[in-house]
Structure 1
Amino acid sequence: MSLRHRGVARLAKGCGTTTPAAAKREQSKKASPVNYYRSLPERPLQDTLRVVDLFCGAGGLSCGFDNFNGARRFKTVLGIDNDPSAIKIFNRNFRSLGDRASLPIGRVADMTWFQHPTEIRLFYLVHLAGSSFHPELFERLNEIGLSEFLARIRNIDKKFSSLAAEISQSDDYVEELSRVPPQTFTLALVKAFVNRLGVSSFSRPLASTRSLPWGEECESLLENAEGEPALGFPNRELVHDMEQEWSARFNEIQEAAGKSGRGQNSNNSKRLTRLCEFLSTDAFSRLKEAWIDWRASRASVRAEFCLENKSQLEELYFDRYRAHIVLGGPPCKGFSRIGRPVIQSLRDQGVHAWSHKEYGDERNALMVQYVLFLEALQPEVFLFENVSNFQSALKTPNGTFDAPALLVELIEELATDKLTYHVSHQVINARDYAVPQDRRRFIMFGAKAGAAPHNIASKFFELKSAAADVPLRVALTGLSDPQEFDPKGGIKTDHSSAVYDVWDPKLPPEQRDYLSWVQQPDPVSGVRPAATDAHIFRKPRDDDRVFASFVAPGIRWMDLKVDRSQTLQDLRDGIEAAIEEVQSSKTKHALENLLGKVDGSLMLRLLLEHTKERFKLPEQHLLLEGYLKNGGSTHGDWFERLSATKPCRTIVAHIGKDTYAYWHPTEPRSLTIREAARVQSFPDFFRFDVSGVVDTYSAIGNAVPPLLSRLFAARISELAEEIQIFPHEGECANHKTDLLSAS
C-alpha cells in the first residue's frame, strides 16, 4: 500500500523512544509527591469501563462518570455533538493521550451521518485508535484497507471542490448569485440547508469536510499519497437517493418561501423566493449535478467498504474494543413546553430549520439515531436523558407522537437472541439529589438481558435521595468578587478568579456532599484549584439594574401583576362611569387613555415610572407595552431575582441570550458563568475558557448536572456488584493507557 498512516507512524515512534512531553511528565512525577496521574485510583485495571457520550454537549454526563470514585472506573472514550463550541469545552476537559493522539475525545459530528450499524462500529474503532494509544488497533484496521478507504474519500472531496470552484467562478453563476439578497444567507433555514449539503457556501461551494463523515479522519490520519487510488463509480441507487435528498431540501426552501412572516421575518418570503429562482437556474444546475455525483460517490465508497468488512469489523469490535455504556439524550427543544409554540410559530412563517412531518421537530427524530447507535455498539447499559416533557404526548401534522412509547418500541425492535434490553424510565428532580437547582428530567435506563433479571431496570431508580434541599447560597459561596464581561478590556471567559475552601462539619450532609464535589481536587494535579475561570457577568442596562433593586429575592416579573385587586376593579369601574358622563371629547380621550393603563400591570407601571423619574434615567424600556403585556403570558417570568434560601430555578440554554431570569439574590447583576456552572454542579476545576460568553452560558444550560450523573454512575456500579452486568470488564486490562488518556 502506497499510503502511510500518520497515526500508526506517530504511535510507533511513541513505543520505542521517550518524547520530550513524556520526559516532562516523568520529571513532574519525580519532583512532586503527588502522582501525576492523580485521577487514577489504585484499583485493578480491569475495572475500567468504556463510555460513549452521544449529544455530549460540554460533558455534564461524562464529568459525573469519569470523576466517580468508587468500585469501578468509568472512562469516556468518545463524545459526539454537532455544536463546535460545546465540543471545545468538552475537549478542554476530556483530553486524549497528548502528543500521541491524532484525534480528540470529543468529536463534532451529526448523528444523522450514519445510517448503518457497521459504519458506526468503524467510526468508533477508528476514533478509539486515533484518540487513545492503540497502535495494534490501527494496524488491524489498516490490514482491512482503512488508509485506502480514507484516501478515496479525500480524493472524492478534492475532485468535487475543484469542479465546484470552476463552476462558481463562471460569469453566469456569479451573475445569478448576485441577484440573491445577502441577508438570505443569514437565515437559519438557509444555513441549515447549506450545512446539510456539506458545502462551505454558495459563493465558494467547496467541500466542507468537517460537516461530513470521515472528513476529520482524512485530515488528521492521512499523509500525502504517493499515488491516487481509483475513485470508482457511484451506485445508481445512491445517486437516486441523493436526487431525492436534494429535492426534499429544495422543497423545504420553496415551501418556506410561500409563507408570510411577521416583524423581522417579514422579508423572508421574498428572499427565499429569489434563492429558489437561483437554485433553478441553468448556472446552478451544473453545481447540483456535481453535488449529486459527489455525495453519491462518497456514500458508495462508505457502503462498499463497510459491507466488505462487516464481519472483520464486528469481530474486532466485540473482541477487545467494545463500549460498555452509552449515555446521552438528543436536543430537547422539540419536547420543551416553551419550545413547541415557538417552533410552530416559526414553521408557520416558513423560517424553521428543523421541520419534520413524522416527528414534529426533526431534532425529535434524533432519538432514532440514538437507537441506531445502541444497535451498533450494543452496550451492556445505556442511559437516555431528556426534558421532563419528553414523556408527554406531542401533536404533529401526522397525529400524536408518544416519545417514550416510540423509544421503547424502537429498542424492542433491536431484540434478537443475543440482544435484548430491560428498560424502565422515570422523571426525576435534581434537587432531590443534592443539586442546588429545581431541574426535572426524563431518564430512561436500559440493561442488556442475559444474566440480569427483568427488574434490573426498575432497580436502577432505587436512588437514595437527599434529606433536604441544597440552597442557592451554598452554590454561590467560596467564590471571589466577579468581574464584568468586557471584550475590549480582556475580561472574557478565560479570566481567572480566586476560589476558597468552604467546609464546616456541622453542615447538613447533602450540603457537605455538594461542596466536596464542586471543591474536589483537579483530577490531573490532585490539588484543589486556587482559582477558577469564567466568573464574569454581562453588564446590565441601567434601567434594568434600577428596576431590579426594587425586587425582593424570590420574586418574578409576573408576581408583580395584580389582576385580582378589588381596588383595581373599582378604579376601572369609576373611570368607565366617568367616561359615560363627560361631554368633552378631549377629556373622554384622556380618560380612555388612562383606562388603558389601569390593568394588572398597574403596580409595575407605577414602579417603573418612579424609578425613571427618581434616578433621572433617559429611558425605561420596560414601560414598553411588549414587556407589560407579557407579564401574564408564558414569557412573563423573563425576570426573576433568585432566592438564596431555595434551590435555583432550572438553568436552560436560553441563559446564553438573556440572563435576567437568573438575577443574583443580593447583588445588582445576573449570575456569572461560573455561578451558573456551580448551580449545575460543575466542579471548580472544570474549565470554560475556550468558548465565548453566549456559547458557554448555553452549553451550561444544556448540560446534565455532573453531581446527578455521578449518582447514576454510583448506582450502575452498585448494580454491577449485585449482578454481573459487565461480563467483558476485563477486556481492556491490557491497555493501561486507556486509563491515562484523561490526562
Structure 2
Amino acid sequence: MAARKREIRKVDQPVYTVADLFAGAGGLTQGFQSAGYRPVAAVEFDRWAARTYSINFGPHVLACPIEEVEIARSSRGLAWSGQNVEGVAVKLDTPEIDVLVGGPPCQGFSPLGRMNDWSFDDPRNGLWRHYMRVLDILNPKVFVIENVPEILKSQEFERLKRYVKKLGRGYQLTFGVLNASFFGVPQNRKRAIIIGSRISHATLPPETFDRCTVRDAIGDLTAEPTGHHLHVGRNPQARSLERYKCVPEGGNRFDLMRLRPDLAPKCWLQKKTGSTDVFGRMRWDEPAPTIRTEFFKPEKGRYLHPVAHRPITLREAARLQTFPDEFEFSGSHVQIAKQIGNAVPVRLAYRIALHIRTMLLPDGTQAERKKGEIGVAS
C-alpha cells in the first residue's frame, strides 16, 4: 500500500558512530541508524523515553540529567558515567564519536511554552551549554542541533555561536529552518537545524520535494481502531461525538460554531477569531499539521482523522512522524504520545544523516559524494 512504498531503505557502508543527547524515544537515532550509522551512546532524562530508546537501540542510554553525565578519555576510547533506566550507576565504554546529535529541550524558546516571550533566564534554554560541554570532550567530526525555529532569533543562539568559535576546533556552522514536509514527511513541521563540521564545508540538506500526504501515511489503517499495535482510540462522550460529526474534512471549530452553536463551548462563541487548527480535521491529500504531545485532544489542534469521527490514534501519529511500525514504545498511552510528539521525524533525520555522510566521505570519493542521496527509498 501507499504507506509502505515510502519506507526508508537502510544504508550499509561505511559505518560512522553517532551519539544522541536529549535523545527522547530516538527519532534522530532511528534516522541516523537507517542511514548507516552505528548508535553507541545516548542521554535522556525521561525514564520512559529512555526505556523506549533502550528497547530499540540497546542499553547504551544514560537515563539521567545531562548535568550528571561525566565523560573521560580511556584506553578504549571514551568512558561515560551516569545511570541506566533502572536508576543504577553505570559506566559506558564507547569508541570515538563521528557525529554528535541532539535537541536540547526548547519549551523556553517555543511560543507554545508558558513564557509570553523567549526567556533568556529560563534554565531550559541553557541546556545547550551541556551539549557544548559534551561537544568539547568528544570533538566529533560533525554535530547537529535540532530545535524550534525561534532559537535562531534568540540571545542564546548568539552565545552558542560564540562558544563554538571559542572552542577553536575549526567548526564551520550552517543553520536554517527546514520544513519536514519537503523531506518526505507527511507533516508540516518546521524545525531549526544547526550543523557544525570541522572536516568539510557545512551545508544544510537540499529539499527533496518528496511530497507525502496523510493518505500515504495512514490510508491503509482501519478507520475503526483495532485496539492493537497502538491503533487505539478514546471513548468519546456522546456530546463530543456530535461535535466531531460537525467538522468536515479540512474544517475546524468555526464549522461547529456555525452548524451547531448549541454544542460549542461558550468561550468559543465569545471569541470569533483565533487559530483555525483548533478542533480541526485533517485532509487526506495534504500533509498533517505539526504533531505535538497532546494530539489525542482535538481541542489542542487539527487532530481529527480525515473521515473517522475521532482524534488520530497513537499508531497514526507515529506513522505521521515516520516511525517504522516495528519501532516499540514503552509507557502509558499519555507517555507514548509525549514521546511521539517530542520526536524528530525519522525521515527528516534520515535525510539529514544521508547529507552528513557526504560531508564525512574522504576527499577522494567524489563519485560517492555526488550521489548525495545514498540509499534513498523510491
Same fold (TM over 0.5): yes
- Name which of 233, 236, 241 aligns with 1:537: 233
Q: Deviations over 1:342-396 (max 9, x none)?
A: 2359xxxxxxxxxx98x23211010111111110111000000001122234xxx
Contact 2:247–2:281, Cα closer than 8 Å, also in 1: yes
Distance 1:708 1:555, change over 3 A: same
Distance 1:631 1:380, change over 3 A: farther
Which residue matches 1:60? 27
Distance 1:42 1:56, change over 3 A: closer
Contact 1:431–1:438, Cα closer than 8 Å, also in 2: yes
Distance 1:214 1:441 in 2: 30
Distance 2:274 2:213 in 1: 28
SS of residue paired to 1:376: helix
Return the letter of the residue paired with 1:78: A
Residue 461 in structure 1 maps to residue 229 in structure 2: no
Which residue matches 1:378? 139
Which residue matches 1:687? 328
Distance 1:724 1:655 in 2: 47
Which residue matches 2:166? 413
Which residue matches 2:246? 550
Residue 403 in structure 1 maps to residue 358 in structure 2: no
Distance 1:50 1:437, change over 3 A: same
Contact 1:660–1:670, Cα closer than 8 Å, also in 2: no
Number of corresponding residues: 355
Return the letter of the residue paired with 1:538: R
Residue 478 in structure 1 maps to residue 131 in structure 2: no
Residue 83 in structure 1 maps to residue 46 in structure 2: yes
SS of residue paired to 1:648: coil
Q: Deviations over 1:539-561 (max 9, x none)?
A: 2232122122121111222x44x
Which residue matches 1:246? none
Contact 1:656–1:696, Cα closer than 8 Å, also in 2: no
- Name which of 327, 350, 374 aligns with 2:101: 327
Distance 1:431 1:474, change over 3 A: same
SS of residue paired to 1:443: strand
Distance 1:94 1:215 in 2: 14
Which residue matches 1:433? 183
Distance 1:219 1:643, change over 3 A: closer
| Percentage of pairs with the same residue | 28
Which residue matches 1:245? none
SS of residue paired to 1:555: coil
Which residue matches 1:391? 152
Segments of structure 2 that go 5 or more residues without pairing to the other structure are 1-8, 366-378
Distance 1:482 1:672 in 2: 10
Which residue matches 2:124? 363
Q: Deviations over 1:521-566 (max 9, x none)?
A: xxxxxxxxxxxx2111222232122122121111222x44xxxxxx
Q: Which has the higher helix share?
A: 1
Distance 1:344 1:708 in 2: 29
In the superposition, the TM-score normalised over structure 2's length comes to: 0.84
Which residue matches 2:174? 424
Q: Deviations over 1:430-458 (max 9, x none)?
A: 11111110011100000015xx3xxx11x
Which residue matches 2:345? 705
SS of residue paired to 2:249: coil
- Name which of 674, 699, 715 aligns with 2:315: 674
* RMSD (Å), alpha carbons: 3.2
Q: Deviations over 1:212-257 (max 9, x none)?
A: x4587994669xxxxxxxxxxxxxxxxxxxxxxxxxxxxxxxxxxx
Which residue matches 1:590? none
Distance 1:426 1:364 in 2: 19
Which residue matches 1:715? 355
Distance 1:724 1:52, change over 3 A: farther
Return the letter of the residue paired with 1:534: L
Which residue matches 1:113? 68
SS of residue paired to 1:632: coil
Distance 1:216 1:85 in 2: 8
Distance 1:380 1:630, change over 3 A: farther
Distance 1:645 1:386 in 2: 28
SS of residue paired to 1:655: coil
Distance 1:214 1:480, change over 3 A: closer
Contact 2:24–2:46, Cα closer than 8 Å, also in 1: yes
CA positional deviation for 1:721: 3.0
SS of residue paired to 1:719: helix
Distance 2:11 2:250 in 1: 42
Contact 1:547–1:608, Cα closer than 8 Å, also in 2: no
Return the letter of the residue paired with 2:103: G
Which residue matches 1:607? 260
Contact 1:680–1:704, Cα closer than 8 Å, also in 2: yes
Distance 1:663 1:657, change over 3 A: closer
CA positional deviation for 1:407: 1.4
Contact 1:659–1:670, Cα closer than 8 Å, also in 2: no
Return the letter of the residue paired with 1:121: A
CA positional deviation for 1:404: 2.5
Contact 1:80–1:109, Cα closer than 8 Å, also in 2: yes
SS of residue paired to 1:423: strand
Q: Which has the higher strand share?
A: 2
Contact 2:178–2:193, Cα closer than 8 Å, also in 1: yes
Q: Deviations over 1:598-621 (max 9, x none)?
A: xxxxx8176132xxxxxxxxxx5x
Return the letter of the residue paired with 2:159: L
Segments of structure 1 that go 5 or more residues without pairing to the other structure are 1-38, 96-103, 126-135, 151-212, 223-316, 346-355, 394-401, 485-490, 496-532, 561-602, 610-619, 726-743
Equivalent positions of 1:110-149 (< 5 A) are: 110-114=65-69, 119-121=70-72, 137=76
Contact 1:430–1:437, Cα closer than 8 Å, also in 2: yes
Distance 1:216 1:644 in 2: 39
Distance 1:633 1:385, change over 3 A: same
Distance 2:272 2:137 in 1: 49
SS of residue paired to 1:52: strand
Distance 1:86 1:672 in 2: 19
Which residue matches 1:343? 115
Return the letter of the residue paired with 1:386: N
Distance 1:376 1:480, change over 3 A: same
SS of residue paired to 2:104: coil
Which residue matches 1:638? 278
Distance 1:327 1:701, change over 3 A: same
Distance 1:656 1:547 in 2: 15
SS of residue paired to 2:72: helix
Return the letter of the residue paired with 1:665: P
Contact 1:429–1:439, Cα closer than 8 Å, also in 2: yes
Distance 2:158 2:238 in 1: 50
Distance 1:438 1:684 in 2: 21
CA positional deviation for 1:55: 0.5
SS of residue paired to 2:358: helix
CA positional deviation for 1:334: 1.0
Equivalent positions of 1:235-274 (< 5 A) are: none
Contact 2:126–2:156, Cα closer than 8 Å, also in 1: no
Distance 1:477 1:433, change over 3 A: same
Return the letter of the residue paired with 2:182: D
Distance 1:724 1:375 in 2: 28
Distance 1:425 1:631, change over 3 A: same
- Name which of 40, 56, 76 aligns with 1:93: 56
